[in-house]
Amino acid sequence: MRKLTQALLIAGVVGVPAFAAAPAIAGEAAASPISANVTLASEYVYRGISQTREKLALQGGFDYAHASGLYAGVWGSNISWLEDLGAGVNSSSMELDLYAGYKGKISDDFSYDVGYLRYEYPASYPAGFVSPNTDELYVAGSYKMFTLKYSHSISNLFGYTDSRGSSYLDASANFELMSGLTLGVHAGHQKIKNWSDFSYTDYKLSLTKDFGGGLSVAGAYIDTNADDNLYTVKGTKIADSRFVLSVTKTF
């Protein structure tokens, strides 16, 4: 039972920045180095897996991007997976992400991004319970519209026992179909150290419409090859195919 609980912990968290995804990492400095964002999404999906068990998600964050390429930020969202587990976890139903890094250019076509990301789940956990709080280092390289990114956990991954050293490798591309309309494609593989049965690959196809003034609307089709027998919470398959809608306002 304890192994199942540990397994479900990560099942509730790992997926692909689905829509309303984990923090939008800051890029090059804008006119103002400080920006903010707020999103309303039909659900929070991360690395292909629902964090809110198919319920609405309200999200937002702040970013600071220096002209030198250094950046830092904070991002938060409601979640339900800790409470859904019902494993004696007194959860705040919140994910709070803290991140910092450096983004630079080799040329007009080539850029890179390195950084640190902390996933924090404020809660009171029973004695002996493995905390879901997770630390990752990441490195990404981009060529024009294509990006390849590798994330490596330097702690246990989302509550999995002995999972330090887990990794997530993903490739993505964004194509401007017409002014203000962008097609996004993504594929990623989550490898969970010492828990290979729970490793999986996820996919995403999205369309984003920029209406100007910081307002955008997006729709994404998301799917994974995760085992439904392992990724089912309260009768809900949290890793099966789904369509997610979101509205985002940046300031």
Say which CATH number the domain at 208 has. Answer: 2.40.160.40
Q: Does residue 151 have a pLDDT over 50?
A: yes
Q: Does residue 101 have a pLDDT over 80?
A: yes
Categorize the per-residue pLDDT at 247 as very low, low, confident or very high, splitting at 50, 70 and 90: very high
- Please tell me the least confidently modeled range out of 98-102, 116-120, 123-127, 132-136: 123-127
Q: Does residue 6 have a pLDDT over 70?
A: no
Range of the domain at 188: 2-250
Give dist(CA 182, CA 137) in Å, integer.
28
Give me the number of domains the chain comprises. Answer: 1
Per-residue pLDDT at 87: 54
Mean pLDDT of 63-67: 97
Per-residue pLDDT at 23: 46
Give dist(CA 169, CA 136) in Å, integer.
12
Per-residue pLDDT at 32: 85
Categorize the per-residue pLDDT at 230 as very low, low, confident or very high, splitting at 50, 70 and 90: very high
To the nearest whole percent, how much of the chain has pLDDT over 90? 76
Place of tokens 């702040």: 62
Mean pLDDT of 132-153: 97
User: Would you state the structure tokens that stand for residue 145, as one six-digit string?
Assistant: 């519209």
Q: Does residue 170 have a pLDDT over 70?
A: yes
Give dist(CA 191, CA 201) in Å, integer.
9
Categorize the per-residue pLDDT at 9 as very low, low, confident or very high, splitting at 50, 70 and 90: very low
Mean pLDDT of 44-50: 97
Q: Does residue 46 have a pLDDT over 70?
A: yes
- 62, 34 in Cβ contact below 8 A? yes
Per-residue pLDDT at 85: 75
Q: Does residue 10 have a pLDDT over 70?
A: no
pLDDT tens, 178-201?
A: 999 999 999 999 999 999 999 999
Categorize the per-residue pLDDT at 88 as very low, low, confident or very high, splitting at 50, 70 and 90: low
Q: Which positions ≥6 away from 129 have C-beta within 8 Å?
A: 87, 88, 89
Place of tokens 């996933």: 119
Q: Does residue 28 have a pLDDT over 80?
A: no
